[in-house]
Amino acid sequence: MAGREIRDPIHGFIRLEDGEVKIIDNPIFQRLRRIKQLAFAHLVYPGALHTRFDHSLGAGYVAASMGRALGLGDGEERRWLRRAALLHDLGHGPFSHVSENLLARFAEPTIIEGHGLEEIHELITMQLIKGLSFLEELDRERIIGLLLSEDKAKRPRMVKFLKVHDWPPDPLLKQIISGPLDADKQDYLLRDSYFCGVKYGVFDIARLHNTLETDSEPHEGNILAISEDGVHAVEQYVMAKYYMNTQVYRHRVRRITDAMLTRAMTLGIEMDRIPFLKDLYTYDGSDKFLQNYVEWDDERVTREILQTTGKACELFKRLRERRLFKQIYSKNLNQLEVNIREALSKLSQTQKGELEKKVGETLGFDPLQVMVDVYRIKSAREQVEGSEGRIRVKGKENFQKESALFSSIDIAMQDQYVEIYAPAEYTSEKDKQEKRTRWNGEVERIFEDTLKGDGP
Amino acid sequence: MNLTPQEIVLVTVAEADNRTIQGRTLLQKRLYFLDVLLGLGLSYRPYYYGPYSPLVDSALGELQALRFLEEHQRDFDAINEEGFQVRRYDAELTKDGEVVVGLLKRRKPSDYRAMAKGLQGLQTAKEPDYATLSIAAKIHYILTRQAASMTVEEIQKVGKELNWKIEDRAHRLQKAIAFLERLDLVKQGS
């Protein structure tokens, strides 16, 4: 066998080596074909039907292209790099990120203890890679080493749990897999933009790769950087991240579909007591859990839930028919009174439930179908230098200092919002305005009663 | 200590003179030492200007979004070594921020007191200006990372490898070491 070529709408022909063909032909990887990249975003952008499978192939391609641009040879490091990128999303569950929230919420508490909630799907990815027995053990461990969190508190816990040898990754390879300029982000921005039919996520990837450099970091070795000539390409890339966040990932209707989906699954477990949903999300780290987990995808969950009769089914029917909930309240937090603003910015799950109950009872909606959503739009600065570190310009300052664009705007600006969704119906624009005005007052009275607490 | 990074930043600004921190570097470095002394879990990492916490930076952004803090840009006539005009961002507590600080004092009194005491400790140890404080943070970070005694020259050499300037301009190096000694974080041998 001499590898395979796959035509991809974003990158053209993607060439896969024999070992990579074995990976993608594995049923666990093929399952990613049935998990949409952006869950129900196609209800907003009809073209957004692409999957984790396409994205994984794309991430592998981009990682390889970055490796080539940086002069990495054809040796084992390049193999680990490509395969780590190819496998980085292997543990994604049905409806992608919606599953992450549910895993975090319903995992066995004894497993969660000592692990950050966000780690559950990462652990699943590593466990699945560990189980790909057709790969050499050393390859599997090196790939896991590249995908594991670098966090000093998390990494040893995960290594212990997975019972693998810890291979601290080469920082350059690590940054290609996970960092402010990683292959994952580069692929999903271009891909999501293409399939959503928007231009916000477009940047000049060829130019960006053309300006990739390595810089040295004492005690760490070579790290990823760009040349001074790459500053404009990175500006475009950072703006793409910012616009995709504000225009696509945080799109109002997309937030509503995600909230409905999460609520449907939660009610399916807690109220309807659907056994397969409980089994799917009660992560206990066992092989039995994993064997079941990889049998599920978007289609199967939808089909099975539609065969039930409870609250989850009701919401799935609405999603299928695009009878979406409406936004009944929306405010920038800074428009609210200080105590309420402070309380909303750190709302607990219990407080959220209490608010939803009161809003439902007061406004005449089923409280189980009222959803309070507090979120924030990251600042442009966080897009440049978030928790993954800064973008280095070789022999110079960091990107932010070198960019005339980014050094001249107030990129710390960001906002937090509170929104409430419910199964509201409007008969006309006038009816909508009247209801929204009335509900606005009612909701803020509820905030006052519920959240003001020990304020002045 | 049971305070979030947002609460830590808020208390630090609230306890500063005029409820204002003059510059992001000063905030980062003051909190670096507070993190060392109180174990706040702020995950400092090496960056261009010394140890830096993305958590502090992110908290600063969130507090502005909530309008509990305001950042005011101040441009100075001076030109820095890179040829740019010197610019400073001062973080100031807003009236709403004062209300939240009041709530925090009531809700988490012992944590608030511990933070205030820690900040007072830095002042008692005669916390130097931000540039010297930055050098002190770099020296402390290097010494902690090397976990061994080092001469000033050795520290400067490692600093150079990290692209950190640890120069003795205006006797800053000695002032920084003296500050670290007053905090009992280093001891000078003969």
Give the B window 110-149 contacts with A, CB below 8 Å: 145
The pLDDT of B145-156, averaged and rounded, is 85
Q: How many CA atoms lie within 13 A of A191 on its CB side?
A: 26
- From CA A406, how far away is CA A404, in angstroms rounded? 6
Note whether A454 contacts B103, CB cutoff 8 Å: yes
- pLDDT at A384 exceeding the cut of 70: no
User: What letter does residue B90 receive in the DSSP assignment?
Assistant: E
Residue B85 pLDDT: 47
CB-based burial of residue A394 (10 Å sphere; 0-12 exposed, 13-18 middle, 19+ buried)? middle
Pair A362, A354: CB distance under 8 Å: no
> How far is the alpha carbon of B120 from chain A, nearest alpha carbon, in Å?
26
Chain B residue numbers with beta carbons less than 8 Å from the beta carbon of A379 are 61, 65
The widest CA-to-CA distance across chain A, in whole angstroms, is 74
| Cross-chain Cβ contact A376/B82 below 8 Å | no
Q: CA of B180: how far to CAs of A313, B136, B167, B173, in Å?
A: 63, 7, 16, 11
Cα dist from B138 to A13, A153, A443, B132, B143, whole Å: 48, 23, 50, 10, 9
Q: How far apart are CA A452 and CA A273, in angstroms?
A: 35
Rounded average pLDDT over B147-175: 82
> Which residues of chain B neighbour A415 with C-beta distances below 8 Å?
65
| Residue B172 binned pLDDT confidence (cut-offs 50, 70, 90) | confident
Measured CA to CA, the distance from residue B152 to residue A319 in angstroms comes to 66
Task: Determine whether the interchain pair A218/B65 forms a contact, defined as Cβ–Cβ distance below 8 Å.
Answer: no
At which residue do the structure tokens 């319903």 appear? A106
- The answer on pLDDT for A98 being more than 70 is yes
Distance, CA of A353 to CA of A360 (rounded, Å): 10
A376-390, B141-155, B167-181 — which is least confidently predicted? A376-390
Chain B CB contacts of A383 under 8 Å are none
Task: Provide the pLDDT for residue B111.
Answer: 96
A416/B65 Cβ within 8 A: yes
Over pLDDT 70: what percentage of chain A? 90
**Mean pLDDT comparison of A210-219, A434-443, B42-51, B85-94, highest-scoring range:** A434-443
Task: Tell me: pLDDT of A328 over 90.
Answer: yes
- Predicted confidence (pLDDT) at residue A387 exceeds the cutoff of 60: no
Block residue for tokens 């009222």: A370
CATH architecture classification, B1-124 = Orthogonal Bundle (1.10)
- Residue, of B148 and A438, whose pLDDT is higher: A438
Taking residues A208-224, what's their average pLDDT?
A: 81
Q: How far is A75 from chain B (nearest CA, A)?
A: 29
b/e A30-59 (16+ beta carbons within 10 angstroms → b): ebbebbbbbbbbbbbbeebebbbbbbbbbb
Q: What is the mean pLDDT of chain A?
A: 90
Q: Which of A333, A335, A336, A338 to mutate to test the interface with B (most CBs of B within 10 A)?
A: A338
pLDDT confidence of A3, banded at 50, 70, 90?
Answer: confident
Cβ distance B57 to A381 less than 8 Å, yes or no, reads yes
Q: Point out the least confidently predicted range of A80-84, A386-390, B38-42, B162-166.
A: A386-390
Tens digits of residue pLDDT in A260-294: 999 999 999 999 999 999 999 999 989 999 999 99
Sign (positive or negative) of CA dihedral A231, A233, A237, A239: positive
Contacts of A213 (CB under 8 A, 6+ apart): A70, A224, A225, A226, A227, A230, A394
pLDDT of res. B82 = 44
Cβ of A341 and B62 within 8 Å? no
Rg (CA), chain A: 23
Q: Which of A42-46, A144-148, A184-188, A345-349 has the lowest mean pLDDT?
A: A345-349
Q: Do A341 and B96 touch (CB under 8 A)?
A: yes
| Per-residue confidence (pLDDT) for residue A368, from 0 to 100 | 96
CB pairs under 8 A between A and B: 81
Residue A455: predicted pLDDT: 54
In the block, tokens 């206990």 appear at: A284
Q: Is B123 exposed, middle or buried (0-12, 13-18, 19+ CB in 10 A)?
A: exposed
Predicted TM-score (pTM) of this structure? 0.85
Distance in angstroms (rounded) separating the CA atoms of residues B103 and A339: 9
Share of chain B above pLDDT 90, in %: 51
Chain B interface includes A382 (CB < 8 A): yes
Calculate the CA A300 to chain-centre distance: 21
- The span from the CA of A60 to the CA of A135, in Å, is 17
pLDDT for B122-142, tens place per residue?
999 999 988 899 999 999 999
Q: Which chain A residue shows the shortest CA-CA distance from B159?
A: A218
pLDDT at A167: 84
* Structural contact between residues A108 and A115, judged by C-beta atoms closer than 8 angstroms: no
A234-265: per-residue pLDDT in tens?
Answer: 989 988 988 898 889 989 999 999 999 999 99
Under the banding of pLDDT at 50, 70 and 90, the label for residue A85 is very high
The 10s digit of each residue's pLDDT in B74-118 is 777 665 554 444 667 899 999 999 999 999 999 999 999 999 999
Per-residue pLDDT averaged across A178-188, rounded?
A: 94
**CA pair distance A175, A172, nearest whole angstrom:** 5
Q: How many CA atoms lie within 13 A of B7 on its CB side?
A: 23
User: Of B4, B65, B96, which has the smallest distance from its Cβ to A414's Cβ?
Assistant: B65
* Over residues A11-15, mean pLDDT: 96
Residues in A closer than 8 angstroms to B158, CB to CB, are 218
Instruction: Express each pLDDT in B38-65 by its tens digit.
Output: 999 898 887 767 888 888 988 888 898 8
